[in-house]
Each structure stands twice: as structure tokens, then as C-alpha cells.
């Protein structure tokens, strides 16, 4: 009788566990969808909720949208998750989460921004200062988003250390956003800032002509001028509109805030006139979309397929492309399937543990 009772209890517990697993994604047990506060938190949250609502309608799943307080809070919640968390960590966040969970997290999608699966740290300063070398930053005040930001702090801090450059002060954004870091430079609270950078695109007619060439690969390569297509060094001014490309870096994002009265420094082109890109550090693999350890594979597949359809691509835009590609959100224009090995070169370059399973 006792043996029968024990077996019955085991069966009940097993059935309950299966029931709990099946409940993930329901109103009672929503999937926690975490967002990194790398942009303006309120604006980011509004877009995040729109995206989650669309994906919910596409899949029938329920999500609990959370814009985390800071970079570390994102990491801690992902690490502690019990198979019910997903989100888009920054490169360094993902690497930290993977290491702390012994590589049990699963990256499924890598972001692409106008054809580039990687990005850089941009070093931004006012043109009026006349800086021509990174060594001009010696003894200056550095503004950055947050100590957990890959492009805003992690990568450039090691680079500055290698160069022997030290500073008289530092100024974190306070809200973890890259935009605030640049605004602190414009406000002259700091001498320079670090934040995300992507190459400017050439004018459409030039890009079309380039793509028509049989050996076309891309319109910008590592080591090229960081202000190619937009800044005329000879005349110290913007290129004329007919031959000017489109700025795709932090200056665009902050410039887009101008229309809403968030600052008085002008649109993106006024900011390009005021702010130069003194240098780049990178490349850095783009941020990914990942699932916590134990997240059911069948639900992963459903969500991944929905996100791909929602975004589409820069050439064939999905219904949610404008949301994902918003300059004040994460600016994802495409996604690609990835696995953890995409981060191994970055791990080696920064002295971090490489996944032994790759």
C-alpha cells in the first residue's frame, strides 16, 4: 500500500511538472521578455510593448515585458531564470550570461543593421575642440552609458588602458542610455563620449550602382574613414545633399530626439556639424536574441519564426520592421540564424572563456 501511495505521488508530481511546462506562455504564466535600457527607457518601453503585442497576436503566447533597471539587472534575471526568460542582451551581457550558466543559454538570432552583423564603439567629441588623435583625450572627462555597456564602456575601457590614456573624470549617463552620454558632451559636462557606431550608407543611387557590380561585397570596411559619405574634411562641412549619404550612428539617434523637444542642438545633420567621430574600436558582434537555460525548444521555434516574419528585412520589410529599426530602439533591420560560436573570436580578443562545446 505504501509503495502504491509513493508511486501515486510521483505520478501526480510528474503530471504537475508537465502541466507547469505546458502553461508557459499563458496569461497565468507569461514569458518574461527582457529589454536592455541602452536607449531612452520610456521610449524604448513603448516600442517594446508594441512589439510584444504583435508577437503575441502572431503566436497566441503571452509576454511580460520588462525594461530592466540597468545592465546588471538584466544579467541577473537571465541567469536566475528557470526556463521562462528571453530577450536581446548586448554582446558582453550575453557572454557574461553564457559563462555564468555554463553555456546553457541559447542564442538563436543575430541582429543585422543594414547588412552589417557587427558594430563598433564610436568615440565622439565636439569638432570645435580640434582633437586629431585619441591621445588628445588624455586628462579629459569621459561620458559613457553604463559600465555594463559593450560598446559604451567594456571594450573602450580596455582599449584606453592599453594605450595608457587616463582621465580626470568620468560621467555615467544615469539612465544607462547612449543618447544621454552624447548629450552630456553637447552640454559640455564631458569632453567626449563612447557609444554605438555603424557606418553611414552612401546615397541610394551610388549604393545601387555599387550593388550592381558582380564583385560587390559591402560599402564600408574595417579601417575606412568613420565619416565616409557624410563629412567633407577639405571644406570642414557636410557634403552637398546630392552626394551625401545617411548617418547611421549615435548622432542620428540623438538628432531624432530633437523633433520632440528633448534638446536644443538640432537634428542629425546639425549634430554631425558639431560632433566628430574621433576613432573606432571593434568590430563587435551585434547583439542577439537569446533564451534562458531550460526554455522549451518548441516555443523557441515559434517565437523565432514570428520575429523573423515581424522584422522581415531591409529589402522586404515585415509588418514590424519600422519598430525594430527605429533609431531610438535597437535599430535591427534584419536578423540571421546564429549559435554561440559567433562570439568566440570576441571572447578570445577580450580574454574571456570560450565555450568548450563549440
pLDDT tens digit sequence for 274-290:
999 999 998 989 999 99
What does the pLDDT look like over 52-68, one tens digit per residue? 999 999 999 999 999 88
Other beta carbons less than 10 A from residue 72's beta carbon: 15
pLDDT for position 257? 82
- As a dihedral over the C-alpha atoms of residue 13, residue 19, residue 24, residue 26, rounded to 10 degrees, the angle is -140
pLDDT tens for residues 21-30?
Answer: 458 999 999 9
List, for the chain, all residue ranges whose pLDDT scores fall below the cut of 50: 1-21
With the CA atoms of 208, 278, 154 and 313 taken in that order, what torsion angle do they form, in degrees rounded to the nearest 10?
Answer: -10
Q: What is the pLDDT of residue 74?
A: 93
Q: Which CATH code for domain 118-285?
A: 3.40.190.10
pTM over cut 0.85: no
CATH for 21-115+286-349? 3.40.190.10
Q: Are 270 and 255 in contact (CB under 8 A)?
A: yes
pLDDT of residue 38: 67
**Block residue for cell numbers 576613432:** 279
Q: Where in the chain is the domain with CATH 3.40.190.10?
A: 21-115+286-349, 118-285
Amino acid at each position: 500500500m505504501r509503495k502504491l501511495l509513493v508511486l501515486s505521488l510521483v505520478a501526480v508530481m510528474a503530471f504537475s511538472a508537465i502541466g507547469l511546462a505546458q502553461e508557459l506562455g499563458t496569461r497565468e504564466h507569461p514569458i518574461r521578455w527582457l529589454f536592455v535600457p541602452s536607449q531612452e527607457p520610456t521610449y524604448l518601453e513603448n516600442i517594446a510593448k508594441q512589439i510584444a503585442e504583435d508577437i503575441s497576436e502572431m503566436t497566441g503566447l503571452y509576454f511580460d515585458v520588462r525594461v530592466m533597471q540597468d545592465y546588471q539587472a538584466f544579467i541577473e534575471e537571465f541567469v536566475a531564470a528557470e526556463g521562462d526568460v528571453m530577450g536581446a542582451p548586448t554582446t558582453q551581457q550575453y557572454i557574461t550570461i553564457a559563462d555564468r550558466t555554463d553555456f546553457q543559454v541559447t542564442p538563436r538570432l543575430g541582429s543585422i543593421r543594414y547588412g552589417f552583423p557587427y558594430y563598433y564603439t564610436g568615440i565622439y567629441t565636439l569638432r570645435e575642440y580640434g582633437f586629431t588623435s585619441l591621445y588628445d583625450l588624455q586628462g579629459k572627462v569621459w561620458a559613457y552609458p553604463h559600465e555594463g555597456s559593450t560598446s559604451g564602456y567594456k571594450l573602450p575601457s580596455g582599449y584606453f588602458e592599453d594605450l595608457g590614456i587616463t582621465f580626470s573624470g568620468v560621467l555615467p549617463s544615469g539612465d544607462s542610455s547612449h543618447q544621454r552620454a552624447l548629450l552630456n558632451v553637447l552640454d559640455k559636462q564631458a569632453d567626449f563620449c563612447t557609444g554605438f557606431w555603424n557606418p553611414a550608407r552612401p546615397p541610394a543611387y551610388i549604393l545601387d550602382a555599387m550593388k550592381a557590380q558582380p564583385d560587390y561585397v559591402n560599402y564600408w570596411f574595417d579601417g575606412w574613414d568613420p565619416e565616409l559619405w557624410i563629412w567633407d574634411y577639405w571644406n570642414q562641412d557636410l557634403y552637398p545633399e546630392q552626394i551625401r549619404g545617411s548617418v547611421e550612428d549615435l548622432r542620428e539617434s540623438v538628432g531624432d530626439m530633437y523633433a520632440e523637444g528633448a534638446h536644443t542642438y538640432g537634428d542629425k545633420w546639425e549634430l554631425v556639424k558639431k560632433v566628430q567621430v574621433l576613432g573606432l574600436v571593434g568590430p563587435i558582434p551585434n547583439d542577439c536574441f537569446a533564451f534562458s537555460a531550460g526554455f522549451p525548444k518548441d516555443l523557441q521555434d515559434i517565437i523565432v519564426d514570428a520575429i523573423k516574419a515581424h522584422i522581415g528585412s531591409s529589402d522586404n520589410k515585415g509588418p514590424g520592421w519600422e519598430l525594430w529599426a527605429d533609431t531610438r530602439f535597437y535599430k535591427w533591420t534584419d536578423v540571421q540564424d546564429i549559435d554561440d560560436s559567433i562570439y568566440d573570436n570576441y571572447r578570445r580578443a577580450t580574454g574571456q572563456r570560450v565555450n568548450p562545446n563549440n
